[in-house]
Structure 1
Amino acid sequence: MVGAELTYITLSQWLIIVYQVFGGCCTNVFVLETLFKNNKSDYSLTTIITFSQFLFVSILSYFPNADFKQSNLRSLYLKPTQIPIKNWLVLVAMFFTTSILNNAVSKFNITIPVHIIFRSSGTVVTVLVGRMFGKKRYNRDQIISVVIISFGILIANLPLAISETSYHHFKVNYDFVIGLSILLSTSILGAFMGLYNELLFKKYGTYWQESLFYTHFLALPLFLFVSPIVIKEFNIIWYDKNYITPEIKISQQFINLLLNVGSQYFCITGVNILASKTTALTVTVVLVVRKFISLIMSVLWFGNELTISGLVGAMTVLSGALYYSYATNKKNKEDNIKLE
C-alpha cells in the first residue's frame, strides 16, 4: 500500500509490521477508550497510562539491549550503544513531550474520533518540516495529496470548533480549540522527531531495538515531576469496584491498563521496525491508514458520534493518504529510471 519504498522489506518482516502496527495499535486505541469510558473519577488517567506504557516497554526492550557476559552492573548490563546517548536524549525529550500531550487532550472535549482525524495531519506537517528543515523534495502528486488531507481535516474539525448559537451569531468552543492547538503542537514535534530519527538511522545504522529501549527508559526519571498524579491515578484504577467477576476481586480497569500497555508495546515495536526500513513520511502515511481503521472501530463499537462533516473529512483524509502512496510509488519509479 505504501509504494516501492517497502519493496526491500522481507515478507516475514512485512507480516510482522502489519500485525503489530494494525493489530497492536488498533487494540491499544480500543482498550484506551474502554479505560476512559469506565473512568468515574475526576482524573483523566492519562498520566498513569503514559507512565505504565513507558515502564512496560522499557522492561521488555531491555533484554535485546543487555549483555550479561561482557557488561557489568555499573552499566546496568547494557551493551555499548551504537548511537551516542546524547542523540537519544534529544529524541527522548521530544517523545516524552508528545506522549504526555497526546494523552492529555482528552481534558479538552477531544473525542477519540476527532483525535484520530486530527492526528492524521501528521502527513501534512511531516511534508512541511521535511521540505523546510530536511531539504526533501516532493513531486506535484505528493503535494496534491497533502492538500487533500489538509482539506479533509478542515472539513472534519471546523464545525466542532465553531457552533451557530443564533442567526449569524457564532460561539467558539475554546476548550476544543485549545485541544486542537495541543494536537497541532504534538504533530509538529512528532514530525521533527520522525525526521531526526530518520537522520540518526541514516548516519549510524538502523538500530530500532536500541531506539525503542532508550527513548522509553531514559524518559522514566521525568515522571518524578508528576509522581503524585501517577500514584493517585494508579489507586483509582487499582481500587475500582468494577471487578472481573464477583468471585475474582480484581479491578477490570487494572486489566484494561495491562492490556493497554501490552498492546502499546506491540504497536510501537512495529512502528520502530517500519521507521528503520523506510522514510519518516511513509511511516506517517501507514499510521494514517491505521488511524482510519481505529476511527471506524470507535464509531461502531463505542457509539461515538461522527457528524456528516466528520465522516466526509475522514474519507477525504484517507483518500489523500492513499493518493500519497500512489504519488510516492510514481516518484520512486521515475528516480530509478533516471539512475539507469
Structure 2
Amino acid sequence: MSQSLMPSLYTKQLLIALLCIMGGCLANVMVLEKILTRAPQAQAIGKIITLGHFLFIALEGLQDAVAYHPKRGLTLRPRRIPLNRILCLVALFWGSNVTNNLAFAYNISIPLHTMFRSLSLASSMLLGVVLVGKRYNVLQVLSVVLITLGVFLATYAASSADTHKAQDGAAEENFDRWLTGIGLLVATVLLSSLNGIVQDLLVKPSSAESDPGSEPVPRWEEPLPQWKEVMLYTHLFGIPVFGVFAGDICRNVHVFLEDGTLLGLLALNAFTQWLCIRGVLQLTQLTDALTLTMVITLRKMISLLFSVYFFGNAFTGLHWGAAFLTFGGSVLYAVVAKRPKAKLKAQ
C-alpha cells in the first residue's frame, strides 16, 4: 500500500502511473481513431488490433516472468494463481477485448464507444447483486441510473445522426450494422463486468507478496506480483484463441503490411495500450477507488474532446447532455463509494 512507500518513491510511482494513464490511454484512443480513419473499409481490423495488443503485452511480460536457473537454464517463475483460475479469466478477458474492438467495424464512433463503456458500472452493480449478493445504497443506485440515462441518450443521438447522414436506400442497412455494433458493445460491457467479479473471487491477495520482512529468494523461485501475473497470462494464453480468426486475419493483414504508416500506427497502438494498462494497475495499488475513478473519468472526457476536435466526430447538444450524465454519474458513484457507510459488499 502507499503508506509503506517512502514519500519520494510514492510520489515518483504516482507520477509515472498518472503519466501512463493520461499519456498512454489518451494516445491509445487517438492512434486507434487514426487507424480507423486510415483503413475504414479493412475487414478484421478490430481482430488484428486486438491480436497486436495481446502479442505486445505478452512478450513484454515474459521478460519479467522468465528467469535463469543454474541447473535448468531459462525457466518460468512460479505462479501464484492456479492454472484453472487463469484460464477462466482468459476466456472472459479475451471475449471482452475482441467484442470491444470488433464494434468499430459496425459504425460505432469513438465518442459513443467512450460513453457506452461507462455502462460497465451499471452492469457490475447488476451482476454483483444477482451473482454474489452485493448491496448498494440509494445514492449509488442513483449514480448508476444517471450513467444509464446518459448512455441511452448518447445512443439515441448517435442513431439519429447516422440515420440522417444515410440516403434512404442505405439508411436501413446502416442502421442494421449499427445495431450489431451496439450488441457487441453490450456484450463487451457484460463480459468486462463479469471478468471483474470473477477476478475478485478467484484472485485473492497474497500476504507474502507484500511482506517486507520475508527472506529474499532466488529470482527463479520468486513469483511475479499478482497484477503482473494476471496481466501476462490473460494475454499470453489468449493468443492461441485468435486461431478461430486465422483465415480472416490472414486475408486482411496485407492492409497493414502494405502500408508502413498503418503498420507503425498498429505498433504504437499496442505500445500505448500497454502503457495504459500498466498505469491503471499501478494507480490501483497506489490510491483509492475514488482517485482512480476520477482520473479515468477525466481521461475519458479529454479523449472525448480530442475525438470531436481532431477527428470531427458529430457532437450535438444531446451528446453533451449524455456526457454530463455519464461522467457525472461516474464521479458521484466514486464519491459515494468512498464514504465509510457505503459498503459495497454484502454484510
Same fold (TM over 0.5): yes
Cα-to-partner distance string for 1:301-338 (whole Å, 9 max, x where unaligned): 111111221121011111111111221222x3677xxx
Q: CA deviation at 1:175?
A: 2.1
Q: CA deviation at 1:280?
A: 8.5
The aligned residue for residue 36 of structure 2 is: 36
Cα separation, 1, equivalents of 2:289 and 2:108: 26
Cα-to-partner distance string for 1:191-236 (whole Å, 9 max, x where unaligned): 0101122223335566101111000001111112212332333321
> Does residue 1:233 correspond to 2:231, yes or no?
no
The aligned residue for residue 192 of structure 1 is: 194
- Cα pair 2:283 2:292 within 8 Å, conserved: yes
Bigger shift: 219-228 or 63-72?
A: 63-72
**What aligned pairs does 1:244-263 form with structure 2 within 5 A after superposition?**
251-263=260-272
The aligned residue for residue 84 of structure 2 is: 86
- Cα pair 1:17 1:271 within 8 Å, conserved: yes
Q: Which one of the candidate residues 115, 126, 138 is aligned to 2:113?
A: 115
Q: CA deviation at 1:55?
A: 0.5
Q: CA deviation at 1:281?
A: 9.6
> Does residue 1:181 correspond to 2:200, yes or no?
no
- Cα pair 1:54 1:220 within 8 Å, conserved: yes
- Cα pair 2:110 2:304 within 8 Å, conserved: yes
The aligned residue for residue 96 of structure 1 is: 94
Cα separation, 1, equivalents of 2:2 and 2:116: 26
The aligned residue for residue 210 of structure 2 is: none
- Cα pair 1:96 1:219 within 8 Å, conserved: yes
Q: CA deviation at 1:14?
A: 3.0
Cα separation, 2, equivalents of 1:216 and 1:71: 29
- Cα pair 1:156 1:310 within 8 Å, conserved: yes
**What aligned pairs does 1:35-184 form with structure 2 within 5 A after superposition?**
35-39=35-39, 41-69=41-69, 72=72, 77-161=75-159, 173-184=175-186
Amino acid in the other structure paired with 1:125:
S
Cα separation, partners in 2 of 1:334 and 1:323, compared to 1, 3 Å: closer
The aligned residue for residue 212 of structure 1 is: 231
Q: CA deviation at 1:277?
A: 6.5
Cα separation, 2, equivalents of 1:149 and 1:132: 20
Cα separation, partners in 2 of 1:183 and 1:288, compared to 1, 3 Å: farther
Equivalences, count? 314
Cα separation, 2, equivalents of 1:191 and 1:277: 22
Cα separation, 1, equivalents of 2:183 and 2:294: 21
- Cα pair 2:21 2:280 within 8 Å, conserved: yes
Cα separation, partners in 2 of 1:129 and 1:180, compared to 1, 3 Å: same
Q: Which one of the candidate residues 330, 334, 341 is aligned to 1:325?
A: 334
Q: CA deviation at 1:8?
A: 8.4
Cα separation, partners in 2 of 1:209 and 1:42, compared to 1, 3 Å: closer
Cα-to-partner distance string for 1:51-75 (whole Å, 9 max, x where unaligned): 11100100101122222126847xx
- Cα pair 2:103 2:184 within 8 Å, conserved: yes
TM-score with structure 1 setting the length: 0.82
Cα separation, partners in 2 of 1:224 and 1:282, compared to 1, 3 Å: farther
- Cα pair 1:117 1:314 within 8 Å, conserved: yes
Structure 2, gaps ≥5 residues long? 208-224
The aligned residue for residue 248 of structure 1 is: none
Q: Percent identity?
A: 31
Q: CA deviation at 1:13?
A: 3.7
Cα-to-partner distance string for 1:234-286 (whole Å, 9 max, x where unaligned): 3211212xxxxxxxxxx111111111011011111223334566898986675
TM-score with structure 2 setting the length: 0.81
Amino acid in the other structure paired with 1:304:
N
Structure 1, gaps ≥5 residues long? 241-250, 336-340
Bigger shift: 109-118 or 133-142?
A: 133-142
Q: CA deviation at 1:134?
A: 2.8
Cα separation, 2, equivalents of 1:239 and 1:230: 14
> Does residue 1:314 correspond to 2:323, yes or no?
yes
Amino acid in the other structure paired with 1:119:
R
Task: Please state whether the residue corresponding to 1:67 is helix, strand or coil.
Answer: strand
